[in-house]
Amino acid sequence: MRLHRLEITAFGPFGGRQTVDFDALSSAGLFLLHGPTGAGKTSVLDAVCFALYGSVPGVRQNPGTSLRSDHAPVGTSTEVVLELTVGERRLEITRRPAQQRLKKRGDGFTTEKAQTWLREFDPATGTWAGLSRSHQEIGEEITQLVGMSREQFCQVVLLPQGDFARFLRADAEARGRLLGRLFDTRRFAAVEERLADLRRAAQRQVEDGDERLLALAHRMGQAAGGLGVARTSVEGRPGDPGLTDAVLTWAAVARTEAHEALDIARVRLDAAEARQGAARAALDAENDLAARQARHADALLRHERLTARAPERDRLQAALDRSLKADRVAPALGLREDAEREHATARTARERSRALLPADLADAGADHLAALEHRLREELGGLEAARRAERRAATVAEERAVLAREARADDDVLRDAADWLAGWEPRRAALTERVEAARDAAARAEHLAGRLEPARRRLAAARRRDGLAEDVRTAETRLADARERRNTAHESWLDVKSRRLEGIAAELAVTLSDGDPCQVCGSTTHPAPARTTADHVDRATEEAAYEAYTRAEETRTAVERELAVLRESWSTARTEALAGATPSAVADPSVRELVGEVEELTRLHAEAHALAGQSHGAREALARAEREYEERVGVQREAERRVAARTSRREALEREQTALDEELALGRGAFGTVAEHATRLERRIGLLVDAAGAVRSAELAAQRLKEADDRLADAAYRAGFTTPAEAAAALLRESDRRDHQHRVDAWQAEAAAVADRLAEPGTVAAAALPPADPVAAAAAHTAAERALRAAASALAAARERVTDLVGLSRQAVTEVRRLGPLREEYDRVARLAALTAGTSAENERRMRLESYVLAARLEQVAAAATARLQRMSSGRYTLVHSDARSGGKRAGLGLHVVDAWTGNERDTATLSGGETFFASLALALGLADVVTDEAGGVRLDTLFIDEGFGSLDEQTLDEVLDVLDSLRERDRSVGIVSHVGDLRRRIPVQLEVVKARRGSAVRLRTGGDALSG
């Protein structure tokens, strides 16, 4: 993988667009990335990681931190563009994080979603082709091509030296966590966890088997209910050998009794069904007779009611007949009523309109009123010009009032701007001083942070040292006791063994028989076989004594190993506690001294950090003040311009007002305003229009009323009525007519129904019989049904009992059959789980499966790192992997350094600061090679090394640079991120990050030339 070009816009400290030409940097093979603290050196590496994976390295990935630059102007989008070659493919990745932007409509901001583009260069056409805009697709494509996850890329390509220095000093568990992320050994940990889960599940199944059997027996006892077997229970507890047979036997007896109870219930149900059928037939006969007798009595009562309502039915029928004749006169009646209402309305409107007119016009005709209206309209039209002049005069007055208010407002603005600008210089000086103080505090906080972390590590080591010292003393006491018990057991075993040898002849004599050869001499005669004595010791006693001695020996060995581990851990902790101490120190620093040192550094760092935290606010306050100053000056100039323009406008309005006043004096006449004069004319015109219309409407309504009277009289005569009033009285409303017809139809339907019922032969015959008694028949039927339900319930309960007992018995048999294979499965899985978890006696080094795999990877890393470490250290140091157990912990991930000068092998935590740097650098480069091979052999042509060179002397720095320069043999380019000034003289190709007020910028330097980025 080779990087070509990086474009950064509004990202981190970079406010504008910055371009990094990696092709120019990589041409020399080795280049330097430098700049002041906080300028954005690490942000360049963050941008590379963000372009590839959509996020920055883990230690800087804070969910509450925005990637957008605080220096970026509004409207500029945060964006990172990376052009690279990977897998013989030239790609361009563009990423924009989620960010705030101005709304396209309205005020305020809106959140813009994250966006990603992926393009590929086609050498044949010389153009870029778009591949995808999906975050997920692009992420999967880049991860597959690079062959590494984000964590692996940040550890292998960006090479953070602080992490590898901690890796050298870390214990096995910490190394395991880092290696597990890089080599992705989660599948082996998943195997361990899966086997442990299987073991626990199998154990629970075996333990639950007997519980389920007892639960089934209890459920069978509940299902048996009132049977005799239910009064007994299965004796036994989970794990008892006879529990299975007891449960199966008890179940067989319960099933037999349940079948007998079921047969008895069937016989009782058949008898109850016969009794219920007879009672049902008797009840139906009584109910039928009672119903027919009731129908005959009801028919007689309804016939009497019909006879009483006959006169009313005749009256309603006559009214319906007259209403049908009057329907022919109804249209003429409606027209006459409409004409009468219209005439009354028109007459009322005429009288009302005449009352509003002057007395001389009260009896005027419509034509005279229309002529007078025409003359008044002509007079109103002559006032239109005066009305326009009056409206313009009001507008001019309002404009003059607005100009006066604006003049007062501008006077206030000028006074306020002058007062504020008078105190500008002292305020700017105070804000500038505040910014400088915060900047100094940031540098002081960074220096104190570099001292605080080593002090905390020394304090933690001192606490471990004191705790381990007590553990060593305790272990020494236990070792003395274990040695004493071992010696005692050894003497006891030797004594028992000696006594058994003395009586071995008697032990052999027990096996002799006449005619069989002796095992010692071969003779077939045994004249005087030896006899056992009272203090004879047999073979079992000797083996028991030897087993006790063996256990004591194992205990002593375990305590010795534990003591050796504790002493080694104490020595390591003591060395860590002394790290950084003055050479003249003769005693180990106490915990109290180190606590005081850490607390003092913490207090000083907190104070400096708190003051440095005000840097952003101070810069923002100064920027706001400068912006406000510019705004105040602009407001002052704008107000002065408006004052000058307003004077000429006011003079023009005064001249126009004078001309309008002269025109209005002519148009008002005797009225106060032209509008009042015009309103009076419009009101009179409206009255004349209403009066003329009302007179015409009254004349037309009178004519239509006369015509309606003539048509009504003619229609009443043709329908057979003497007068129209008689016809109107005969009319019925539609609701009354429907009611009359409904009542007549109901009387006729009821008469027909009563006649049919009285003619029924069965009803007449039933009336001649004695009254029926359905109540007694219903009581007998209810009793029979109750007995039937009880018998059915008893049968259902017996069936359910049999079904439940049979089903539970089958479950019990099934449970018994599955317990055997489950126990075998548990034994097999438990053995495998203990072996992979490192807890089995078969696993001598107590190594977990994941640790075993990582140990092989660590051995490869140590071998790859040694090739460069020997060159950096002039052949002195070699990294080796150790699988020995340390500190009572499990074995597998130890890392030691072999010193060729002394021939000793020691822990990597004992290296000095400079030695730790080049050892960690060699380890990082070796790890990069191994992870690259593990990831599929993707070639890494660009590497970055972040800090650490300041701890090297001049000779060691030359050797380290030689090693890094040798990477060019593999066509690699290495970028060094460092503050060390000596590197600027040694490395001609440089990428400088320059810090400025409006954001950082990058500059490419090649020898003495400089090109601004």
The per-residue pLDDT for range 947-956, each reduced to its tens digit, is 556 556 666 6
Per-residue pLDDT at 1013 exceeds 50? no
Per-residue pLDDT at 203 exceeds 60? yes
Q: Provide mean pLDDT across the span 40-47.
A: 85
Helix locations, 70-185, DSSP H: 135-146, 150-156, 161-169, 172-183
Q: Provide mean pLDDT across the span 164-180.
A: 63
Cα 1007 to Cα 1013: distance, rounded to the nearest angstrom: 16
Q: In what order do the strands lie in the sheet with 894-899?
A: 877-882, 894-899, 905-907
pLDDT of the residue at 1012: 35
- DSSP, collapsed to helix, strand or coil, labels residue 763 as helix
pLDDT of the residue at 9: 92
Per-residue pLDDT at 580 exceeds 70? no
Share of the chain above pLDDT 70, in %: 81
- DSSP, collapsed to helix, strand or coil, labels residue 973 as strand
DSSP β-ladder status, 30-34 and 989-994:
parallel
List Cβ<8 Å contacts ≥24 apart for 879-883.
879/908, 879/919, 879/922, 879/923, 880/905, 881/855, 883/845, 883/847, 883/855
pLDDT of the residue at 1011: 35
Q: Provide mean pLDDT across the span 187-212.
A: 78
pLDDT of the residue at 284: 83
Chain center to CA of 320: 81
The amino acid occupying position 378 is E
1000, burial (CB in 10 Å: exposed 0-12, middle 13-18, buried 19+): buried
pLDDT of the residue at 168: 62
- First CA to last CA across the chain, in angstroms? 24
pLDDT of the residue at 872: 74
Cα 20 to Cα 990: distance, rounded to the nearest angstrom: 11
What is the pLDDT confidence band of residue 172, given thresholds at 50, 70 and 90? low
pLDDT of the residue at 82: 93
**Residue 458: partners with Cβ closer than 8 Å, 6 or more residues away:** 576, 577, 578, 579, 580, 589, 594
- Give the C-alpha distances (Å, rounded to integers) separating 615 from 71, 408, 440, 618: 14, 42, 10, 5
Per-residue pLDDT at 46 exceeds 80? yes
- Which three-class secondary structure string do you get for 253-293? HHHHHHHHHHHHHHHHHHHHHHHHHHHHHHHHHHHHHHHHH
Gyration radius of the chain's alpha carbons: 57
Per-residue pLDDT at 193 exceeds 80? yes
- Give the C-alpha distances (Å, rounded to integers) separating 684 from 380, 707, 999: 11, 36, 80
pLDDT digits 0-9 by tens, 907-954: 777 777 667 776 777 777 777 677 666 655 456 667 777 655 655 666
Per-residue pLDDT at 407 exceeds 50? yes
pLDDT of the residue at 165: 56
Q: Provide mean pLDDT across the span 10-22.
A: 89
3-state helix, strand, coil in the chain (%, to 5): 70, 10, 20
pLDDT digits 0-9 by tens, 433-458: 888 888 888 878 778 887 888 888 88
How confident is the prediction for the chain on average, in pLDDT? 77
Q: Provide mean pLDDT across the span 566-578.
A: 84
Per-residue pLDDT at 461 exceeds 60? yes
pLDDT of the residue at 119: 92
Structure tokens at 181: 């992320």
Higher pLDDT, 67 or 108: 67
Q: Is the dihedral of CA 17, 22, 27, 28 positive or negative?
A: positive
Strand partners, 4: none
Per-residue pLDDT at 970 exceeds 90? no
pLDDT digits 0-9 by tens, 492-551: 888 887 777 767 666 666 667 776 776 666 666 667 676 666 667 777 887 888 888 889
What is the pLDDT confidence band of residue 638, given thresholds at 50, 70 and 90? confident
Chain center to CA of 932: 35
- Give the C-alpha distances (Å, rounded to integers) separating 209 from 198, 235, 788: 16, 16, 44
pLDDT digits 0-9 by tens, 285-314: 877 877 877 777 787 787 777 788 778 777
pLDDT of the residue at 680: 73
Q: Provide mean pLDDT across the span 206-213.
A: 75
pLDDT of the residue at 95: 92
pLDDT digits 0-9 by tens, 612-628: 787 788 788 888 888 88
Q: Are 188 and 853 in contact (CB under 8 A)?
A: yes
Short-list 247, 618, 572, CA closest to 431: 618
Q: Are 6 and 22 in contact (CB under 8 A)?
A: yes
Cα 136 to Cα 116: distance, rounded to the nearest angstrom: 10
Q: Provide mean pLDDT across the span 962-978.
A: 69
Share of the chain above pLDDT 90, in %: 3
**Residue 193: partners with Cβ closer than 8 Å, 6 or more residues away:** none
Q: Are 854 and 185 in contact (CB under 8 A)?
A: yes
Structure tokens at 251: 């179940």
966, burial (CB in 10 Å: exposed 0-12, middle 13-18, buried 19+): middle
